[in-house]
Amino acid sequence: MNQHRRSHNRRKGWMPAFAGMTAVLMASVAAQPARAQSVEEFYKGKTISLLIGFSVGGGYDLYARHLARHMGKHVPGKPTIVPQNMAGAGSLRAANFLYTAAPKDGTAIGTFARTTGINPLLESGATFDGTKFGWLGSVTDDTSVCVTWHTSPVKTWKDFLEKPVTFGGQGPSSEPDIFARLYKNVFGAPVKLVAGYPGTNEITLAMERGEVDGLCGLSWSTLKARHAQWMRDKKINILMQAAFRKEPEMGDVPLVMELTKDPEKLQVLKLILAAQEMARPFAAPPGIPEDRKAALIAAFDATMKDPEYLAEAKKINMDVNPVSAASLNKLLAELYATPKDVVKQASEAITK
């Protein structure tokens, strides 16, 4: 009996000691920092949503889907990139969503109008700061044009200043609306704007049907990639080209920066046309982990040099003249430092 009691007491004695040692060991393990998940581990087996701020069939849609087919293999973990169209308000809907509501973990990126980054400077419809996006880069810089259908009486810049013309638009922050209003207010062109189309693809169809004379803010790269037949068959008139330098392929089509010598008008034009340098921009939301943002930027840069990507781009007549993320950040920082009086004039020029 005594021997059994002594044995029982010994067991009772070591059990608290064992429990204490276990607690110390578990606390020690818990105190050790967890191994950080690598970018490759995070993206493996995942899907990245690529929001496209326009309807299917336009230039931005073309550039986005082309990127989606190739960029995933350059991201560590090789995630699948799935394009998702989110048209509305000239792509402002997609930009607002990406900035405020999209996942901030690196599984959502987007593309929207080149002017979207500076929209907060010019109007109240944007709920973001353009300098805060995680810019990945732009596939190319570009030139915007105004075009009319061959049946329109407005065939030249001179006609444009003298004869009434009806242009299709999407919404206040869209490029067709911005550029049509810009020329109306800066140059006094007698422009009537018919807004409400989902994208430039629908506007060009309306132009072919005779509902409108044409549209402004159409990219030269889109014309070449989507509508080369129009130019071969002389179905359209190109009224002007909007950029800081002439596009040689357009011959004697006038450059809008050379159509006025008024210093104030030139300042307004310069602020709006600066967006041409980021013609096909791609961005992540603000606040994603820095290592994932760096990986996405590196993947974008690698895609721009990918032989398969470039070969396909050449085949479908797409321009690839990349603008880096660093260049986009620098450009936007400069634009956001524009004097307030110039910003006010530019805002009035594109909103009235």
| pLDDT band at residue 34 using 50, 70 and 90 as cut-offs | low
Per residue in 7-25, pLDDT (tens digit) is: 444 444 444 444 444 444 3
Side-chain-side CA neighbours of residue 21 (13 Å): 5
Count of H helices and E strands in the chain? 15, 11
Q: What is the pLDDT of residue 125?
A: 65
Per residue in 101-121, pLDDT (tens digit) is: 999 999 999 999 888 888 888
Mean confidence (pLDDT) of the chain: 89
Structure-model confidence comparison of residues 128 and 190, the more confident one: 190
| pTM summary value | 0.77
Tell me which residue of 303, 342, 310, 3 sits closest to 138, measured CA to CA: 303
Rounded to an integer, what distance in angstroms lies between the CA atom of residue 213 and that of residue 148? Answer: 5
Helix (H, G, I), strand (E, B) or coil at 242: strand
Q: In the predicted model, what is the mean pLDDT of residues 150-173?
A: 95
Q: Above 90 in pLDDT, residue 265?
A: yes
| Domains located in the chain, CATH noted | 39-141+277-351 (3.40.190.150), 144-275 (3.40.190.10)
94-98, 259-263, 337-341: segment of lowest average pLDDT: 337-341
Q: In the predicted model, what is the mean pLDDT of residues 209-221?
A: 95
User: What's the farthest any 2 CA atoms get from each other in the chain?
Assistant: 119
| pLDDT band at residue 35 using 50, 70 and 90 as cut-offs | low
Q: What is the pLDDT of residue 114?
A: 87
153-167, 242-256, 283-297: segment of lowest average pLDDT: 242-256
14-28, 177-191, 291-305, 309-323: segment of lowest average pLDDT: 14-28
Rounded to an integer, what distance in angstroms lies between the CA atom of residue 116 and that of residue 96? Answer: 10
Which strand ranges, in their side-by-side order, compose the sheet holding 323-324?
Answer: 80-85, 47-52, 108-111, 281-284, 134-138, 323-324
Rounded to an integer, what distance in angstroms lies between the CA atom of residue 26 and that of residue 19? Answer: 10
Share of the chain above pLDDT 90, in %: 71
Rounded to an integer, what distance in angstroms lies between the CA atom of residue 352 and that of residue 215? Answer: 17
Q: What is the pLDDT of residue 121?
A: 84
Q: Above 60 in pLDDT, residue 287?
A: yes
| pLDDT band at residue 199 using 50, 70 and 90 as cut-offs | confident
Q: In the predicted model, what is the mean pLDDT of residues 38-50?
A: 98
Q: Above 80 in pLDDT, residue 1?
A: no
